[in-house]
Structure 1
Amino acid sequence: MIEISAKEVPEIRARMADWARDPGLDGAGNWFRFFLGPHPPGASDSYVFDRVDDVAATIAGTLAVQLPASELFYVSSAMTELARHAASSLPDYRLHPEDLPSPVGFMVYAQPPVPGTASGPHDDVCIVSWGPGRGGVWVHTWAPTSMSPAQRGVVQIGRNLAKADHHDALQRARAAAARNLPTPSPDNKSATSEEAADLWGAHLLTTWLPNLERAQIPPSFCPPHGFEWCALTPMEFMEMEGWPDGVSDNQSSVAAESKIALQRTIVATWLLMGQTLVHSERVHAPRAARRRIESLDPAMGTAVRYIDLRRSRTEPSDHSTDDREKSGREYHHSWIVSGHWRNQYYPNRNENRPIWIDWHRAGPDDKPLIGGERVNVLRR
């Protein structure tokens, strides 16, 4: 897994924005057309796209506008852990535009927020970008390009085909499909390594035939900025009972439960970022990186909001000593209250909004703690 620091975020965003605006074969437009297509399976069933929409072109065009304009955020490891934990008990909730930390954003987690949610050849999702879209807000997830031995072989084959004449590559794919060979599996092992390579090569060419018929192979095959687009999830400003599957480059390999867990973790992160238990400070890209960013787009910002937990923990006001005295109760022990969500009424919305109550010690400070003292170890 690639580790990303906060100071690297502006240059990563700049490279991704440059890719999104590139009209050439290695740009986002051709990448989405080759891998996703104008009408990917399932997209026409979403309320976001009509059957006449060119989904690939729409996604590429939206990213070209939103990535350069996005506000940058970096979520620390401690904050990521809290968001992951809080998401597991997040109640269904009506998402509001003001719940977003910014209308257009680019957020990098110090570690994957929900390990194991990325699809196909990707590592775990660690980047989330968002902005206005039809139906509410469009949330894109990204993962570092996987370079496992198997993936390296696939990428190399793709890059070699990209160097060939497109017509020739298309003819080779059609010839491979005409052979009607079985899909490689442990049940149909080839006698020799050469036969196995031939079977795998024919299988890949057959798989890519629809892609080759609609677009040329991107020369880099994987996006040149080093991160794979994993999915688009449209989040409505509505009751949060899970969201549509959205559009993914490999829908079948991602479990619905994992996707919902990731989506809820993203929403939990946004909600937590608006609370006092979170500390935010500005971090800037190094001078050399700022120069490289300026060469791509002089107007692009280089400041990142570093999101972390505050060091001090205070007992919530709804468990104050005054309240206990007013209740007339006498406690003979103190105890630990686990972290939990509590609905807070907001008059300007005329409805409740969940706020996170962090773990705290309740009861008289001079009384023994049930279960003994609690020890917390924070590993960085």
Structure 2
Amino acid sequence: MTQADAIRHKAALTGWLGSDQWIRYLAADGLPEYGPSAWPDQWPSASLKERMALFTTDELIPLEAWQDADTIYADAAMCDMVTAAAQTFPQQRVRREEFLAPIGFLFFAKPVPSAAFEVLLPDQPPVTAITWACVDDGVNAFTWIRTPAGAYDVNGVTVQVTALFPQLAYFVPWDKPAHAGTHSVSLLRTLSALSRQPLTREDSPKIHQSVRANARNAKVRPESFRRIALRRPEAATHELAAARAIAEGRTPAGHWVRGHWRNQYYASVDEHRPLWIEGFPRGDFSQQAPAGERLLVARGDRAGTGQ
């Protein structure tokens, strides 16, 4: 996905979230968290029209909030780094101020695994985008997958969708821990934390006039577009390879001392925040790994070894 594609998707998706097709999708029980879990008594016997009425009377996020939301674009190398680093993100409480923005759209230059290396969800398609909103009681995030735009059957209800289809929803209350590497909030937290580290850079690239017109027609602010990239993109490939090797229990040729998170204490704010300690290469990557060679894995402030 290019940067121009991201803005076009943002414009199309914003319009869809402000249409009755979004409510129709929710009423069709496309996301169980927004149906039977929210209204267990009314839901089983309610008609589609009655279910849609439940959502229209509920306090859904207004269209204007989505139009003003930040648009974040993670470049290709950043996608690899997020996938690798999400596996070991510290198990700490979710805070409102840790996210890139109170509400936003995150687009990946290339799809990332929805559950990273988690084996519990092997059939889930990769994620193209994440939308999130910080609400009163927690953070709510959706993953979106790439599909052809058109009409889809959702539990017997026909729903018109854009080229992005809502796949999974995940909600985490404030001050509650969230598991690492297995859901959209984990990926979003990882990118948010990495964006504050010295290894990344952020800019607002110039947008082509034709794309700006597309954004204006959807009442989307093109100036809200932010690109996040790695200063040393080559490191992402090594981090991802090391993470996969560890997950699969194998040792790659040479070895990359994998980067890791440190739960760093900041006295000025009296709290711990994740600090990424960058990985580095060691050994000859041009040679096959000899039998018995070990892969060094950094854990916390100490380096351990794994076969």
Change (3 A) 1:336 1:41: same
Specify whether residues 134 and 312 from structure 1 end up closer, same or farther in structure 2 by C-alpha distance, changes over 3 A only: closer
| Rg larger in structure | 1
Aligned 8 A contact 1:7 1:283 in 2: no
Could you tell me which residue of structure 1 aligns to residue 232 of structure 2? 311
Q: What are the within-5 Å matches in structure 2 for residues 153-302 of structure 1? A: 155=152, 208=156, 211=157, 217=158, 221-223=159-161, 225-242=162-179, 260-297=182-219, 300-302=221-223
Equivalent-residue separation in structure 2 for 1:63 and 1:277 (angstroms): 36
Query: SS of the residue aligned with 2:73?
Result: strand
Change in Cα spacing, 1:136 to 1:348, as seen in structure 2 (3 Å) is: farther
Seen in structure 2, the aligned counterparts of structure 1 residues 59 and 107 have a Cα distance that, compared at 3 Å, is farther
- Whole-Å Cα distance in 2 between the matches of residues 336 and 8 of structure 1? 34
Q: What is the TM-score normalised by the length of structure 1? A: 0.56
Q: Which amino acid aligns with 2:283?
A: G
2:143 touches 2:184 (CA, 8 Å); kept in 1?
A: no
Amino acid at match of 2:192: W
Change (3 A) 1:58 1:263: farther
Q: Which whole-Å CA distance do the structure 2 matches of 1:312 and 1:139 have between them?
A: 27
Contact 1:37 1:55 in 2 (8 A): no
CA distance, structure 2, for counterparts of residue 37 and residue 55 of structure 1: 14
SS at match of 1:283: coil
Q: Name the count of aligned residue pairs.
A: 250
> Aligned residues: percent identity?
20
Q: Residue 140 of structure 1 aligns to which amino acid in structure 2? A: F
d(CA) in 2 for partners of 1:55, 1:358: 48
3-state SS of 2:265 partner: strand
Report the residue type matching 2:138 in the other structure: G
Match of 2:275 in 1: 355
Partner of 2:18: 21
Residue 144 of structure 1 is matched in structure 2 by 146
Moved more, 350-359 or 133-142: 133-142
8 Å CA contact retained: 2:70, 2:105: yes
The answer to whether structure 1 residue 32 and structure 2 residue 15 are counterparts is no
What RMSD, in angstroms, separates the aligned Cα atoms of the two structures? 3.6
TM-score normalised according to structure 2 size: 0.68
Answer whether contact 1:68 1:300 (CA < 8 A) is retained.
Answer: yes
Q: Structure 1, unaligned stretches of length 5 or more? A: 46-52, 159-203, 212-216, 243-256, 315-334, 362-370, 376-380
Q: Deviations over 1:187-220 (max 9, x none)?
A: xxxxxxxxxxxxxxxxx9xx52xx5xxxxx4xxx
Indicate the structure with greater strand content.
2
What 5-or-longer segments of structure 2 have no aligned partner?
41-50, 236-254, 287-307
Per-residue deviation, 1:115:
5.1
Contact 1:9 1:304 in 2 (8 A): no
Deviation per residue, 1:7-60 (Å, 9 max, x gap)? 22222111111122235xxx3223322344996233458xxxxxxx97644789
Whole-angstrom distance in 2 between the partners of 1:83 and 1:60: 32
Larger proportion of helix: 1
The structure with higher relative contact order (CA 8 Å, sep 6+) is 1
